Amino acid sequence: MIRFIDLFCGLGGFRIALKKQECVFSCDNDKSVSDVYLNNFNENPFSDIQSIHERNIPKHDILCAGFPCQPFSIAGKRKGFDDSRGTLFFDILRIINYHKPKAFILENVKGLVNHDNGNTFKIITESLSKSLNGVFINSSIENLGYNVFYKVLNSKDYGIPQNRERIFIVGFKNNCSFEFPEKESSSIHLKDILDINLPDNTVSETENFNILKNLEKHKKREDIINNDYSLAYEIRKSKCTFRWDGISPCLTAKMGTGGNNIPVLIKNMRRLSVKECMRIQGFPDSYLIPEGKQNSYKQIGNSVSIPLVKKITDNIIKQL
């Protein structure tokens, strides 16, 4: 059985994707998310990774880390390594350097690639690797000697009804040729996971007005309204994004900062429920999380698309 650690574990998306393997360590410094993790996995994650010496982390085969994305996201201030959350990458480095796991998988926002004109991504990849996507790196930066592969993948290309672009960085201690999963036709749409007649969580009159006003700009207004699975996202007066293709906009941590950021099912003029958002991320209905809580929406937005992570980790395990 493969042993793995779950850094910045959040709701445990990596753990669910690797459920047939053994998780030997988890950590997250968000108390509210740790409580949810405890309820679902009967394990209380360690809190501050910066205060944990690497020798106190169990030996493992795979290191998993969806490290904080806010310092690199276009939705934030993009301070990168000048943000304390951005420097957490170096804790990943010290743990990999000490334990030298057979493989690792890191996940972050697409914006990591071009942050600071690509310099941030260059530091990250060159610190980890002797080769990148099969090409040897001639760098002056001391590296950990891993063979690293990276790719920006969109959840909607892997049977997940969400337009979510994320970069995945996979590394192997030994030489190998790794392939990310091939794109596939979407087999799940919003109609398959939404509770169409859910009565609560309706939008306010002001939000309703803003949606209809923005819809006037679209020639297919009636088609949008009459489509049971059309969504509006960010329903502020000045901004309203629509999708009517059976795919959800990207779920983000900002869903936890106020109702305006939670996707709205236009047919019923209501926000998506916590359970519906969990389904969009690939969590099972048996997962326990408070319904209707702002923190729950934030935690979902910070999570990973489980079905996609499972496809990637399955390929990693085949290599091992």
pLDDT digits (tens, 9 = 90+) for 74-104: 444 544 344 444 478 889 999 999 999 999 9
pLDDT at residue 187 is higher than 80: no
List active site positions. 69
Other beta carbons within 10 Å of 39 = 12
Residue 42, both tokens: 């009967």
Classify domain 3-185+304-319 by CATH number: 3.40.50.150
Domain residue ranges in the chain: 3-185+304-319, 190-300
pTM for the structure as a whole: 0.90
pLDDT at residue 297 is higher than 90: yes
Classify domain 190-300 by CATH number: 3.90.120
Distance CA 169, CA 187 (A): 26
Give 45-70 pLDDT, tens digit per residue: 998 898 999 999 999 999 999 987 55
